[in-house]
Structure 1
Amino acid sequence: MSDYIKVPHLIEERSFEMITEELGDKTFPEEIGKIIKRVIHTTADFQYADITIISPTAIEFAKKALKAGAHIVTDTKMAMAGINKKRLESYGGEVNCFISDEDVAKAAKEKGTTRAMAAMEKAIMDEKNKIFVIGNAPTALFKLKQFIEEGKVKPDLVIGVPVGFVGAAESKEEFEKLDVPYIVTRGRKGGSTVAAAIVNAIMYML
């Protein structure tokens, strides 16, 4: 253990080795595997190997968008905090979270909606926001779906991994029906840390 304390990066390297070993015969294409293994590394939950669904163009579109300086929108401050902003900024991108903005709170109150929904409405006003990362609020995902169907926004990637019991699974199921690049987790599991891990896994591929 002393070697790991002296060289902290060895802990992560060994963790990924153990994840690969425990997955056994369950293998994935290289880039998909990198995402799934980072999520497992973040959660210590191997069920993500079965419930993480990645659309065919998701990784390709996301990498192109990030290299072009796309901005990322998250539904929580926690997801925003977990994203490697230094690496993102090196490509000209930034992370935005509008959930605590005064105008968002005001709009939500006036319209009788959630802040998460109002935040998505604000997010689509800036065409630089090309990657949407939802780890907590199913209502944000439902609202984003509405905007996509109305032609108001065309994301390069939607990461839809809200966690919870009410609406979480259903919101993710709806996204699998849309013609947009997506990464979702089926069922109730997910969360802001999972969302951030997926973003970071893609950025580390660049």
Structure 2
Amino acid sequence: MSYNPQGNTATEQMTKLGQAIEHESFAIVDREVGEHRYGPSEWPVVRRMIHATADFEFNGLTRFHPNAAAAGSRAILAGCPIVADVEMICVGVSKPRLAHFGCSVHHFISDDDVIADAKAANSTRAVFAMRKAHRHGLLDNAIVAVGNAPTALLEVIRLIRDEGLQPALIVGMPVGFVSAEESKALLATLDTVPWIITDGRKGGSTLVVAALHALLALAEQQSRGR
């Protein structure tokens, strides 16, 4: 098994050397993993997550709703917003790749009103950041990207269940020891909204960015195949 970039251009590294290094890295991951349980649209996501962390445990820890990869590609091709729990994700996602599809990326965790509301309610900024995104109409048909704050993920799940929120996809990979594992397990019980999660305590913004870049590449492949 070897890496095949399948003619992508917009979602490739910008220099020939950068492309060669990345392609060889992906090929090494393919060789060392060998056989795996993931489908052809899922493995590129897991591969890139392993590439970003050098942690082969994500071959197994990563789980997908059956419609996750397809839903993510469709949303990107439609120019969806991406709403993140923290600024790190917004900084990490390639701006030229987003611009190619007309996608925008948002976070509200540091907004003054979010901070004030969280303090007044003795809650977390992550909760009120997601509520603000919802008020602004950014969560429906969006990709919601959570890599740090379990409370952000729990709030999105609440909005889905109680207020009929319908994101296109949730990439739910909060890292840590308090509610991280539980929030992802709860997300995996949803069948009305596609999701990608990492089981257990492991997660983080780096993984979410890697998954988003993989989905952008899959979207480009889909667009070229039309």
**Which deviations, in whole Å up to 9, do the C-alpha atoms of 1:90-121 show, x marking residues without a partner?**
22220001000111111111111100111010
- Check whether the contact 2:147–2:173 (CA below 8 A) recurs between aligned residues: yes
Cα displacement (A) at 1:26: 2.4
The answer on 1:188 being equivalent to 2:198 is no
User: For residue 18 of structure 2, what is the amino acid of its counterpart?
Assistant: P
Partner of 2:6: none
What TM-score, normalized to structure 2?
Answer: 0.85
CA–CA distance in structure 1, aligned partners of residues 16 and 166 of structure 2: 46
Unpaired runs of 5+ in structure 1? none
Partner of 1:52: 62
**Which deviations, in whole Å up to 9, do the C-alpha atoms of 1:171-206 show, x marking residues without a partner?**
000001112100000000010000111011000112
Deviates more, 1:103-112 or 1:6-15: 6-15
SS at match of 1:150: helix
- Check whether the contact 2:83–2:138 (CA below 8 A) recurs between aligned residues: no
Partner of 1:171: 183
Q: Alpha carbon RMSD of aligned pairs, Å?
A: 1.5
Partner of 1:109: 119
SS at match of 1:189: coil
**Which deviations, in whole Å up to 9, do the C-alpha atoms of 1:38-93 show, x marking residues without a partner?**
00000100000101001011111111111111100111111111112222222222
CA–CA distance in structure 2, aligned partners of residues 97 and 128 of structure 1: 10
The answer on 1:160 being equivalent to 2:157 is no
Runs of 4+ in 1 over 4 A off after TM superposition: none
- Check whether the contact 1:124–1:152 (CA below 8 A) recurs between aligned residues: no
CA–CA distance in structure 1, aligned partners of residues 69 and 17 of structure 2: 31
- Check whether the contact 1:70–1:128 (CA below 8 A) recurs between aligned residues: no
User: For residue 158 of structure 1, what is the amino acid of its counterpart?
Assistant: I
Cα displacement (A) at 1:8: 2.8
SS at match of 2:59: helix
- Check whether the contact 1:98–1:123 (CA below 8 A) recurs between aligned residues: yes
- Check whether the contact 2:146–2:173 (CA below 8 A) recurs between aligned residues: yes
What TM-score, normalized to structure 1?
Answer: 0.93
Unpaired runs of 5+ in structure 2? 1-14, 220-226
